[in-house]
Amino acid sequence: MNRPIRAAICQMQVVAEKQYNLDKAARMIAQAAGMGARLVVLPEVFNGPYDSSLFSAYAETVPGPTFDFLAQSARRHGIVLV
């Protein structure tokens, strides 16, 4: 059976403070889910600046803080996060 799905694309300005970015993403995810989105897409690098010289400084293990945040957010809102 074909059913439409509502998707949301989150565009956010990322700053150097990881927790600030996660908090901002959490608000955007909640807003999108509250508006009926079942699929929410975040920016490619949403937890830190998109600067290849900084990638190693923002690297995390999996599971880790960002992974856990994404899993918990998807579960809490019953959505798929990309």
pLDDT digits (tens, 9 = 90+) for 39-66: 999 999 899 888 888 888 888 999 999 9
pLDDT digits (tens, 9 = 90+) for 4-51: 999 999 999 999 999 999 999 999 999 999 999 999 999 998 998 888
Residue 78, sorted as left (phi over 0), alpha (psi -120 to 50) or beta, turns out to be left
Quick check: helix, strand or coil at residue 81? strand
pLDDT at residue 1, as a whole number: 67
pLDDT at residue 52, as a whole number: 81
Which helix (H) or strand (E) is 39 found in, with range? Answer: strand 39-41
